[in-house]
Every structure is written in C-alpha cells, then in structure tokens.
Amino acid sequence: MLQLSRSARAVLISIVAFIVLVIYVPLLLVVANSFNVASLSSWPIKGLTTQWWVVAWESPFIREALLNSVIVALGATFFAGILGTMAAFALQRYEFFGRQSINLLIVLPIALPGVVTGVAFSNTYNSVLPEIGINIGYFGMIVAHATFCIVMVFNNVGARLRRMNPGLVEASMDLGANVWQTFRLVTFPQFRPAFVAGAILAFALSFDEVIVTIFTAPPGVETLPLWILKEMARPNQASVVNVVATVVILFSLIPVYVSLRMSRSDEDD
Amino acid sequence: MTSVLQVPEPPTPAEVKVAAARTSRQNRRGLLWLLTPPTAWLLVLYIGSLFFLLITAFWFINPFTSKVVPGFTLENFVSIFTVPAYFATAVRSLLIALAVTLIAIVLAVPIAIYMAKIASPPMRAFLAVTITLPLWAGYLVKLIAMRVVFTENGFLNWLLAPFGISGPGFNTSTVIITLTYLWFPFMALPVYTAVRQIPHSYFDASADLGAKSWRTIRTVVLPLIKPAIIAGSVFTFSLSLGDYLVARFVGGSTQMIGSIIASNINLNPPVAAAFSFVPIAFVLVYLWVVRKMGALERL
C-alpha cells in the first residue's frame, strides 16, 4: 500500500476536494439560476420562481429541437451500432495486414478536432455532392454523427469480444448450428450488454455534439445544442436556457450509470 | 466513456498465433464481409471528405464574383504565415492547448493517486462517479456554467468581493480554465485506470528501499502511468486545439483556429479549408513527438 506522510496526504486531500468543488459548484449555479427571478444569469440569485420551467415546457421550439436531437442521435446510433460491431468482430477475430490502420481510421474522427470533421463534411455536402446532383439535407447530419460514434460501439464490443471464449462458437458449429444461428443464439447474447452500453454512449455523444452539427445541419433545422447556442447569443433569455441545461444535467446521469455498470462488470470478470 | 480511453493491451504472441491459425482455417470471405462496410463508410465519407477539403484548400475565390474557382494556388496556406492575425491565432491556439494539457496532467495525477491508492472503497466509488458525471453533463451546459462563474455579476466576483479583488472576467486565461474544465475527465479517467493497475507490492518495495512518498510518486508511479498520461493528453490537446465556442463565449476578444475557420466557411471556403489543416498538422506533430518519446505503442 502507498504510505504517505501526513503532509503529503493533507496536500492530496485538499487538491481532491478543490477539484470536486470546481467541478460541481458551476453546475449547481446553473441549476440555481434556472429558478432565478432575473432573466440574466447571476450569483447570488435575485429570487426564486418556476416561471422559466413553465416557459421551457410550453416552448414549441424546444420540443422541435429536442425531437431533432433524438432523431439524429437514434439514426447515428443505428449506423454506428452496426458498423462498430462489424469492425469490432473483424479486428478481434482476424489477424490481417493493416489491422492497426483500420483501428486508427475508426479512432480518427474523434481524435481530430470537431471543427475539422465539421468543415470536411460541410465542404462535401455543399460543394461536392451538389455537383453530382445529391442534396443530402437532414441525412447528412446523421452521417456525420454516425462517423464519430462508431468508435464508441467498436471499443465496447471489442473489449467484450476479447474476453469471450471462442470455443463456444466452435462448439455451436460442431453441434450443427449455422453461422447465423450461432451468432443469434450464442455470440450475441454474450456481447449484448457491451453492445447496449456502446449504443447508449454513442447516443449521448451524438446528442451532445455541437461543432460538427453547426457545420452539417441543413438550414432551418435545429438540434437541442443548436437551440441552446442560439439562445446563448442573446443572454436575456438565459434563464430558460438554464432550465434546459438543468434537464440535460439530469439526463446525463443515464450514461454515467451505464459506464459505471460497465466498469463494475469489467472488474467482476 | 471509460472505454474510449482504455489503453488497449497488445496481443500476446500466443494470441496472435491462435488468431492466425483460425484465419487460415476459416475463409477470408467472412473478414471481407465484416470489414468492408465500416471501412468503406470511413474511407469514402470521412477520408474522402478530408481529401476534398485538402483540394479545396488549393482553390481560390474570384474577387469579382466571390465564387470559389477550382485551380491551384498556395496562397491560402501562405496566408497562414504571412497574415499576422492568422499566424498569431495559430500560435495562440497551440499555446492554449498545451497549457490546458499541462494543467490537466497536474490536476489528474494527484486525484488519480488518491482515488486508486488512498481512498476507501466507498470514497473511491463516489469520486469515480464525481469525475465521470461532468463528462456527460453536456458541453454547452458546462460552458453556460463557466459563464455564470466568470460573468460580471457572477459567482467568482461575488466570492472575491470581500477581499476587494475581482476575477479575470472573459479573457484568454478564462478560455484556458474553461477548456481544462471541459476536458479534464479525458485525462483523469485513463490516469486513474493506470494508477489502479500498479501492484501494491511496488509501493512496499519502494518504501522498504527507503523512498519517501514524493520520491515514490516521482520514480515509481509517474514512469508507470506515462502511457496513460500521453493517451489522455492526445484528447485534451486535440479537443482544446479545435475548439472555438469557448473562446467565443468566455474568451472576450480571444480568437482560436476554429474562430478563423468558422468565420471563413461561407465567405472564403478555401481559406477555411487551408486553416483546417493547421490543427491536423499540430495533432500529427504532437503524435510524432510522443512517438519519439517512445510512448505511443500503447495508445
């Protein structure tokens, strides 16, 4: 066990306490400001009201933006789920030339800054595709999001496959199951939790993405982050934005729960 | 998210041999069938788009019609170096990204050591949730939160008022603080995982050989977690480098590379395209330097 002197221990504990405070105080400020009487964010808050929650609840723009976000995130998760699982199987079950390059290719969209990914897709959608008569519109947003979400499913499913017993597949085949039956009855049930976790993380990543969306959203279409961004530019609506932000903080507990479950089951194995 | 940041273990020679044997037994058709869709998606849509972007960077704007003209000019790339505002912005973004990475390392190592080796199990679980939660709390939510902290009538000025001082307001240091706030979990999680993997006996051995706490941390812990620090730094560096909304909302007049790209994307797409290769170049150089330091094998 790491034995620390009393002074070292005290220094460490105060650094940790400082970090936890710095992480949480700003988030709590947002929650508090969603109940602020003033429409401008401030501290201390001027007085308590729930009127902004009513405004946010009744806003058709927020609902539409939320709906768009969910559609795009579901679409991106769908493609990322299929492509990420295929890539994970290919890289875990086969040894082939260029394996490392494929790995890099999958990580690249998330490793390069979002503005690069956004500008690259925007350039293709606005300058290249119209030349060959394609107007990608709404679907372009889903394609761009799916591209950087593949890595989420790929990593989670890949980590599970690495620990799966390949003998089970061979046993299933020996017992007369065909490839599809083996996948459906033997392989998939084993990696299903990892697949679901990867899909939820992909959904969350897409739901939260701002910069790529700015460049790929067709005119007039708003996702929730785009709506927030627009409202941030006119700060007199700050309190309604704080309501939406508070709801987003609450929903972020879902992927946290999932990733914790994942790391716990990792430790159990 | 933890899993994106996991440092994958290289396959053992035995594993590779097993895999190779399996491949030779099965037909290659299965591999091709599995590999083609994801590879085609990424190569055609993503690498293809990057390639078109590179081509666009050599095109230019017709000054009379403001239309993009296909052709070949190095003018857009040259402007990165010759236009003082562009060059200063590129250097500023680089320095900001390096500062964010450095601060994230300095904060992540102590919290990782505390969580992995000192905290009681319930405390460890609590802290694991604590540093994972903001990862998903939403990029814009955190940006809004930092605005409430640093704004004129905000939290920091309220906190400092009794001491007769005020916070930095919205400027470059606020950008660095906010970017660190945003990307800190990307550093903290892999470093924490790495510290956890250090066997307890190493600490006993170090203590038996007479090393005090700080010496143990410096000579035993740090070398062992270096790959994780580097893995995390790739994220903090790259994410900070490409960001421009933080600069727009809490940076006052601070501009970053992304600000120039965003403001040119409609006015002058070739300049925006050329500028997109500045962060790519920085990230590639960063990866190259890291590789020279011999720490990329486990990334």
**How many angstroms separate the Cα of B185 from the Cα of each of A229, B123, B136, B271?**
23, 18, 10, 33
Q: Does B11 score more than 70 pLDDT?
A: no
Question: What are the pLDDT digits (tens) for B60-89?
Answer: 888 888 788 888 888 889 988 999 999 999
The pLDDT mean for chain B works out to: 85
Residues A204, B136: C-beta atoms closer than 8 Å = yes
**How many angstroms separate the Cα of B8 from the Cα of each of A100, A150, A156, B80, B225?**
12, 17, 12, 37, 14
Partner residue facing B158 (CB), from A11, A43, A256? A43
Residues of chain B contacting residue A256, judged by C-beta atoms under 8 Å apart:
129, 132-133, 135-136
Residues of chain A contacting residue B150, judged by C-beta atoms under 8 Å apart:
none
User: Does B45 reside within a domain?
Assistant: no
Query: What backbone torsions phi and psi does residue B68 show, to the nearest 5 degrees?
Result: -75, 130
Shortest CA gap A240–chain B (Å): 12
Q: Where are the domains of chain A?
A: 60-268
What tokens does A38 get?
């003033």
pLDDT category of residue B98 using cuts at 50, 70 and 90: very high
CATH no. of A60-268? 1.10.3720.10
Residue B59 forms contact with A (CB below 8 Å): no
Residue B231 forms contact with A (CB below 8 Å): no
Q: What is the 3-state secondary structure (H, E, C) of chain B?
A: CHHHHCCCCCCCHHHHHHHHHHHHHCCHHHHHHHHHHHHHHHHHHHHHHHHHHHHHCCCEECCCCCCEECCCCCHHHHHHHHCHHHHHHHHHHHHHHHHHHHHHHHHHHHHHHHHHHHCCHHHHHHHHHHHHHHHHCCHHHHHHHHHHHHCCCCHHHHHHHHHCCCCCCCCHHHHHHHHHHHHHHHHHHHHHHHHHCCCHHHHHHHHHCCCCHHHHHHHHHHHHHHHHHHHHHHHHHHHHHHCCHHHHHHCCCCCCHHHHHHHHCCCCHHHHHHHHHHHHHHHHHHHHHHHHCCCCCCC
Residues B145, A30: C-beta atoms closer than 8 Å = yes
CATH of the domain at B197: 1.10.3720.10
User: Does B269 reside within a domain?
Assistant: yes
Residue B295 forms contact with A (CB below 8 Å): no
Q: What is d(CA B210, CA A81) in angstroms, rounded to the nearest whole number?
A: 52
Partner residue facing B138 (CB), from A155, A201, A248? A248
Residues of chain A contacting residue B43, judged by C-beta atoms under 8 Å apart:
105
**Which residues, other chains included, contact B129 with Cβ-Cβ below 8 Å and sequence gap of 6+?**
A256, A260
Query: What backbone torsions phi and psi does residue B199 show, to the nearest 5 degrees?
Result: -65, 145
Position A163 scores a pLDDT of 82
Domain of residue B148, residue span: 80-292
Residue B216 forms contact with A (CB below 8 Å): yes
Q: Which residues make beta-bridge pairs with B61? A: B68
Position A6 scores a pLDDT of 81
Q: Residues 97-156, chain B: which have Cβ within 8 Å of A?
A: 107, 110-111, 113-115, 117-118, 127-149, 151, 153-155
Question: What are the pLDDT digits (tens) for B118-157?
Answer: 888 888 888 888 877 777 788 999 999 999 999 888 889 8
Partner residue facing A27 (CB), from B137, B151, B243? B137
Question: What are the pLDDT digits (tens) for A76-118?
Answer: 999 999 999 999 999 888 888 888 888 888 988 988 888 999 9
What tokens does B22 get?
């399996």
Residue B285 forms contact with A (CB below 8 Å): no
Position B53 scores a pLDDT of 92
User: Does B298 reside within a domain?
Assistant: no
B interface test, pick of A1, A16, A35 with most B CB neighbours within 10 Å: A16
Query: What backbone torsions phi and psi does residue B8 show, to the nearest 5 degrees?
Result: -70, 145
Position A253 scores a pLDDT of 79
Residues of chain A contacting residue B189, judged by C-beta atoms under 8 Å apart:
none
Q: What is d(CA B110, CA B112) in angstroms, rounded to the nearest whole number?
A: 5
Position B255 scores a pLDDT of 92
Shortest CA gap A176–chain B (Å): 16
Q: Going residue by residue through chain A, which has 269 residues, state the pLDDT in tens, using 9 for 90 and above.
A: 566 778 888 888 898 899 889 988 999 999 988 888 887 888 788 888 888 888 889 888 999 999 999 999 999 999 999 999 999 999 888 888 888 888 888 988 988 888 999 999 999 998 888 888 888 888 999 999 999 999 999 988 988 888 888 788 888 888 888 888 888 888 888 888 889 988 988 998 999 999 999 999 998 899 999 999 998 888 667 788 889 999 988 888 777 777 677 666 555 44
Q: How many domains does chain B have?
A: 1
Q: What is d(CA A238, CA B154) in angstroms, rounded to the nearest whole number?
A: 13
User: Does B130 reside within a domain?
Assistant: yes
A interface test, pick of B26, B29, B41 with most A CB neighbours within 10 Å: B41
Q: Does B8 score more than 70 pLDDT?
A: no
Residues A106, B42: C-beta atoms closer than 8 Å = yes
DSSP states along chain A: -----HHHHHHHHHHHHHHHHHHHHHHHHHHHHTTBSSSS--SS-S-B--HHHHHHHH-HHHHHHHHHHHHHHHHHHHHHHHHHHHHHHHHHH---TTHHHHHHHHHHHHHS-HHHHHHHHHHIIIIIGGGGT---THHHHHHHHHHHHHHHHHHHHHHHHHHS-HHHHHHHHHTT--HHHHIIIIIHHHHHHHHHHHHHHHHHHHHH--HHHHHHSPTT---HHHHHHHHHTSGGGHHHHHHHHHHHHHHTHHHHHHHHHHHHHHHH-
Question: What are the pLDDT digits (tens) for B177-204?
Answer: 999 999 998 899 889 989 988 888 888 8
